[in-house]
Amino acid sequence: MSRQSPLSPFMLPIWYRFQLTSALSIAHRLTGLALSVGSIALCGWLIAVAHGDEWFARAHELLISPAGLSLLFLWSLTFFYHLCSGVRHLLWDVGYALELKAAYRGGYLVLAATVVLTAASWTYLFLA
């Protein structure tokens, strides 16, 4: 089957120029996907806790390894982004902030809140 006309999910690089709003939209989906992968890790961690000390120790070792910590950092970032962006979506659902200017302001606010919440969490983690 030949595709002469563009399909909606693949319009960004060629058919549309970059916009904050569409970039944040696809980021919402990507972070949702990343959190789905994170749910596997959460499940594995819970199983390790349930199984007892030896499994827990091994899971803990994995989590505090450089790779584990990087993943945890990315998951915290994606969690806070998806949370803030999700609130923005819920506000849209009830009819707020739908105008172009408000949509951009909300977008920048979501980005700022994500950075602040992630930074605050990791600062607390290393200072407390």
Radius of gyration of the chain (CA): 19
> If binding is defined by CB under 8 A, does position 2 make contact with another protein?
no
One residue of 27, 77, 79, 81 binding another protein per CB under 8 A: 79
> If binding is defined by CB under 8 A, does position 86 make contact with another protein?
yes
One residue of 90, 98, 112, 115 binding another protein per CB under 8 A: 90
44 alpha carbon, distance to own chain's centre: 20
One residue of 12, 34, 62, 83 binding another protein per CB under 8 A: 83
Q: Quote the CA–CA distance of 44 and 56 in Å, as a whole number.
A: 10
> If binding is defined by CB under 8 A, does position 121 make contact with another protein?
yes
Q: How many CB atoms lie within 10 A of CB 89?
A: 14
DSSP state, residue 99: S
Q: Quote the CA–CA distance of 113 and 86 in Å, as a whole number.
A: 12
Stretch that binds another protein, among 11-19, 80-88, 103-111 (CB under 8 A): 80-88
CB of 42 to another protein, least distance (A): 7
- The H-or-E segment that residue 114 falls in is helix 100-127
Query: Rounded to whole angstroms, what are the CA distances from 80 to 6, 12, 110, 121?
Result: 32, 25, 9, 10
User: What x-and-dash track marks residues 21-50 binding another protein by CB under 8 A?
Assistant: --------x--xx-xx--xx-xx--xx-xx
Contact residues: another protein, CB under 8 A = 8-9, 29, 32-33, 35-36, 39-40, 42-43, 46-47, 49-50, 56, 76, 79, 83, 86-87, 89-90, 93, 121, 124-125, 128
